A and B are shown apart, each in its own frame.
Chain A
Amino acid sequence: MDLYGKMAATQDMKGKGEGGDQNFDYMFKLLIIGNSSVGKTSFLFRYADDAFTSAFVSTVGIDFKVKTVYKNDKRIKLQIWDTAGQERYRTITTAYYRGAMGFILMYDITNEESFGAVQDWSTQIKTYSWDNAQVVLAGNKCDMEEERVVSVDSGRLLAEQLGFEFFETSAKDNINVKQTFERLVDLICDKMSESLDTDSAVTTGAPTAKLTDSAPPLQQPGCNC
């Protein structure tokens, strides 16, 4: 089994073997990264709590929330880490990249500098994470059309160049928030399926059920999300 399969299995066994809510099949570690004040915390609050406040409180270090989603009758627990965008916290935030299965790399469509920093954040992912981590690029604050300085096409083009999926989002107006997370989960599941396929073919030469198949359920350590 490759690293992807191992991570999912390990996380799963942890969830079932120790305290806390044990009602889940898989746990995915996700990170939201990007420049300060692009709306990472608001984005997470909208997704996890369906709440929004315009008051800005700069995140100190790192924080996280947990949300459970369902996919093909499997319960997937998302541990979503909200990172501080300020440079002074870079040491502590990059320490949490390890083991992350997905990233939401966020910029602010009204802030050119935050868009210009996307390439650097992408490099950070490559440096501190692992090759199979999935990334979605999110251009946040798309409700502020009058203040837009980054076009949709620019965002889409950059996402293509970097090999990321792309959404424009608004935590304030709840636009594409859920879709961004759902797409990221899909990408991770697809990747897990590929990894298990490859792993199984290499080790046994036998065909395996894909992660994206809906039935029948695959027993651990395989998965079927």
Chain B
Amino acid sequence: MGQTIGKPTSNPFQNSTLFSSLKRSSSSQPTCDQNTRPSIFSTLKRPPVSKPSDFIPLFNDCIYAASSRTQEYLLFKDPEDKFHPSPEVLTQSVNLNMTDTFNCTVMTPEQRILLGADWVWAVLEKPTKNPRIQIAVQVLHMQEREDTEENGITPEACSESLQMAQKESSNKSTYERLVDFCTSIGKDCYALFLFFGKKNDKGNIYGVLSNNFEAAIGKCNNIDRTFIENFFKGSRVKHFMSLLFLLNC
């Protein structure tokens, strides 16, 4: 499950809002300005992890490398119009594992439907290796890409078990399923909606991370793509500011 991505020799990441907070060398401190909350990754530097700084820079660098490569494909157009990377391939591009401290579990196709997550990152507790903090990630592609291949699953590949999974989950959207999944675990499980391109910025990767999306349900809001995208506009951020981390510092 997942793959290990080597530490890059340079920082190729130029433009991403989501991961801009990670643009620092392994030994430097986060560079968030005073008006923004610290990223979730910087909160991981707190005790009780014995040597928390060991893996965070490495994780950052891995993310830089993987997301940079993904970005290249977001805007790529084959001059011969023969190469069309599928959402499935792009979704699998940011999986990484660091044994003992951090792992990434790629969901099976059935789990992707049932739980709404494409993969789950976990910071592991030593020595039990039980998750201490989890981030369940759902990748959202540009609409036209989603239309081409919904959820990355072709009709041919839509097996009986996938249809069963869809039947089990038919009363909720994928966004709601992810939120439900994280809520069922608790506040140490964060939902991360990762946008591979946005309408006005097709070449970037954005993300919204929270362990309190369920509050929207209490406020009678439907959790859908529009709702999540509204976090970028800032209009609804106020309602959830206490627990919302916009990774754009």
Q: Is B one of A's binding partners?
A: yes
Seen from chain A, the residues whose Cβ lies within 8 Å of a Cβ on chain B are: 14, 18-21, 57-58, 60-66, 79, 86, 88-89, 91-92, 95
Closest chain A residue to B188 by CB distance?
A88
Interface residues on B, range: 20 to 34
Hey, what's the 0/1 contact readout for B154-166 against A, CB within 8 Å counting as 1?
0000001101110
Max count, chain A CB within 10 A of own CB: residue among B167, B184, B186? B184
Given the interface pairs A57-B1, A61-B114, the reply to whether A92 lies near B164 with Cβ below 8 Å is no
- Does B111 sit at the interface, judged by CB under 8 A? yes
- Does B130 sit at the interface, judged by CB under 8 A? yes
Q: How far is the CB of A57 from chain B (nearest CB, A)?
A: 5
- Does B98 sit at the interface, judged by CB under 8 A? no
Max count, chain B CB within 10 A of own CB: residue among A14, A60, A88, A91? A60
* B120 lies within 8 A of A60 (CB): yes
Q: How far is the CB of B63 from chain A (nearest CB, A)?
A: 20
Query: What are the residues of chain B within 8 A of A66 when measuring CB–CB?
Result: 160-161, 164
* B184 lies within 8 A of A20 (CB): no
- Does B105 sit at the interface, judged by CB under 8 A? yes
Hey, what's the 0/1 contact readout for B107-132 against A, CB within 8 Å counting as 1?
11011001101001000000001110
- Does B181 sit at the interface, judged by CB under 8 A? yes
- Does B220 sit at the interface, judged by CB under 8 A? no
Q: Of A19, A21, A88, which one neighbours B185 at CB under 8 angstroms?
A: A88
Q: How far is A57 from B2 in the complex, measured between Cα atoms in Å?
A: 11
* B130 lies within 8 A of A88 (CB): yes
Query: What are the residues of chain A within 8 A of B120 when measuring CB–CB?
Result: 60
The interface residues of chain B, by DSSP majority, are classed as: helix
Given the interface pairs A61-B114, A62-B111, A86-B130, the reply to whether A91 lies near B165 with Cβ below 8 Å is no
Query: What are the residues of chain A within 8 A of B164 when measuring CB–CB?
Result: 20, 64, 66, 79
* B181 lies within 8 A of A64 (CB): no
Kindly list 7 other residue pairs between chains A and B, CB separation below 8 angstroms, not including A20-B163, A86-B130, A92-B184: A58-B105, A60-B117, A65-B110, A66-B164, A79-B164, A86-B131, A88-B185
Q: How far is A65 from B120 in the complex, measured between Cα atoms in Å?
A: 20
Pull 26 A–B residue pairs with CB atoms less than 8 Å apart, ordered by A: A18-B167, A20-B160, A20-B164, A57-B1, A57-B105, A58-B105, A58-B129, A60-B107, A60-B115, A60-B117, A61-B114, A62-B114, A62-B115, A64-B114, A64-B164, A66-B161, A79-B164, A86-B130, A86-B131, A88-B131, A88-B186, A89-B184, A89-B185, A91-B185, A92-B181, A95-B184
Seen from chain B, the residues whose Cβ lies within 8 Å of a Cβ on chain A are: 1, 105, 107-108, 110-111, 114-115, 117, 120, 129-131, 160-161, 163-165, 167, 181, 184-186, 189
Q: How far is the CB of A196 from chain B (nearest CB, A)?
A: 26
Query: What are the residues of chain B within 8 A of A60 when measuring CB–CB?
Result: 105, 107, 111, 115, 117, 120
Q: Of B115, B130, B160, B163, which one neighbours A61 at CB under 8 angstroms?
A: B115
Q: How far is the CB of A19 from chain B (nearest CB, A)?
A: 5
Q: Of B1, B160, B167, B185, which one neighbours A92 at CB under 8 angstroms?
A: B185
Closest chain B residue to A14 by CB distance?
B167
Q: How far is A175 from B164 in the complex, measured between Cα atoms in Å?
A: 29
Query: What are the residues of chain A within 8 A of B160 when measuring CB–CB?
Result: 20-21, 66
Q: How far is A37 from B111 in the complex, measured between Cα atoms in Å?
A: 19
Q: How far is A88 from B163 in the complex, measured between Cα atoms in Å?
A: 27
* B167 lies within 8 A of A61 (CB): no
Q: How far is A145 from B42 in the complex, measured between Cα atoms in Å?
A: 47
Q: Of B1, B105, B108, B184, which one neighbours A91 at CB under 8 angstroms?
A: B184
* B163 lies within 8 A of A63 (CB): no
Q: How far is A131 from B69 in the complex, measured between Cα atoms in Å?
A: 54
Query: What are the residues of chain A within 8 A of B1 when measuring CB–CB?
Result: 57
Closest chain A residue to B115 by CB distance?
A61
